[in-house]
Structure 1
Amino acid sequence: MSGHIGWADLILVMEKKHVRRLRERFGDMLHDKRIVCLNIPDDYQFMDAELIEILISSVSEHIELPIDIS
């Protein structure tokens, strides 16, 4: 995981508790990283269709997605 943080300019998380966990575990590595909390409850099943729609919508506000979401 720390290797991914090393090259990331932007880190997106679903909940505030995920931001806290990142800071606890990788605090020193995050000083120049932009962390965005999407405020999506982490109570969906893996690959849930509704979650995927929410993620596409939320993430596309921060980065250009290489998929057709129409």
Structure 2
Amino acid sequence: MKKVLFVCSRNRLRSPTAEQVFSTRRDIEVASAGTNHDADVPVTAELAAWADVIFVMERVHGTKLRQRFGRHMKSARLICLDIPDNYAFMDPALVRLLESKVSRHLP
């Protein structure tokens, strides 16, 4: 079973939405976290090592992950979704965007 981590800045809007949207799939395990120190669930070395695929919402999140946890990420695929921080939690437009962009990378 693939382990999928969704990452945004504060883990309050985009990544928790993605986690909730994809949590019903039986073929993957999902988690979400944020790169900022004040994130609701901050990214840890353990989370970075756990993931097989890491979806970041913006390029800056990928940069921060590589700088802080690069050695823990092993062979995880890092994919940038290019989703800006202008959506509310579970915003229908965000859900549609996530479904469209993430489904390209997950079987």
Matches of 1:37 and 1:24, distance apart in 2: 16
- Is 1:27 paired with 2:67? no
- Cα deviation for residue 50 of structure 1 reads 0.4
Structure 1 vs Structure 2 CA RMSD: 1.5
Higher helix share goes to which structure? 1
Number of matched residues? 64
Matches of 1:7 and 1:20, distance apart in 2: 18
- Is 1:17 paired with 2:60? yes
Aligned-pair identity (%): 45
- Is 1:5 paired with 2:57? no
Q: Larger Rg: 1 or 2?
A: 1
Question: Where do 4+ consecutive residues of structure 1 move more than 3 Å?
Answer: none
Q: Give the 3-state SS of the residue equivalent to 1:28 in structure 2.
A: helix
Any conservation in 1 of the 2:87–2:94 contact (CA below 8 Å)? yes
Matches of 2:86 and 2:68, distance apart in 1: 22
In structure 1, the residue matched to 2:102 is 59
- Cα deviation for residue 3 of structure 1 reads 2.3
Give the TM-score, by structure 1 length.
0.76
- Cα deviation for residue 14 of structure 1 reads 1.1
Matches of 2:68 and 2:90, distance apart in 1: 26
Q: List runs of 5+ in structure 2 lacking aligned partners.
A: 1-43
Matches of 1:23 and 1:7, distance apart in 2: 15
Give the TM-score, by structure 2 length.
0.53
Residue 80 of structure 2, aligned match among 16, 37, 43: 37
In structure 1, the residue matched to 2:89 is 46
